[in-house]
Amino acid sequence: MQGSNTLKDCCNVAAMQHRLYHCDMMHKSNSRGAVWQRPRGAEGLGHAVRLQREMRGWTQAELAGLLGVDRTTLVRMEAGRNPALTRLMDALSLLGADIVIVPRRARVTVDEPSEDAATDDSP
């Protein structure tokens, strides 16, 4: 993606489609514009792949080529139409776990939730 306006537009669209993607669009950016997300469900995970790809300015064909898959496979992945991803996300949800996507070299600190927050499903 070119420039911060494009990223901002993507974030706005994603925020409007929050229910469709089941993705908490919790964006924190550093000086290089790195973004982290907490996807919900296969649709949210697929959206995260699309956002990361677009932030790098890559086309679907380019990423598919790097992965060694057809572009249609990547299209299905970004749409969350992958039975294995759906089962994976459902299993994590049932187990009370989340996936968080962060820039590779980010430093991440995880705090144990308080007893009050243990039942809270908010970000």
Domain ranges of the chain: 3-110
Question: For 3-110, which CATH superfamily applies?
Answer: lambda repressor-like DNA-binding domains (1.10.260.40)
- The model's pTM is 0.64
Per-residue pLDDT of the chain (123 residues; tens, 9 = 90+): 333 344 444 444 444 343 333 445 444 454 456 678 888 889 999 999 999 999 999 999 999 999 999 999 999 999 999 888 888 888 888 888 888 888 888 888 888 877 765 555 554
- Amino acid 62: pLDDT: 96
- Amino acid 119: pLDDT: 54
Tell me the three-class secondary structure of the chain, residue by residue. CCHHHHHHHHHHHHHHCHHHHCEECCCCCCCCCCCCEEECHHHHHHHHHHHHHHHCCCCHHHHHHHHCCCHHHHHHHHCCCCHHHHHHHHHHHHCCCCCCECCCCCCCCCCCCCCCHHHCCCC
- Amino acid 91: pLDDT: 87
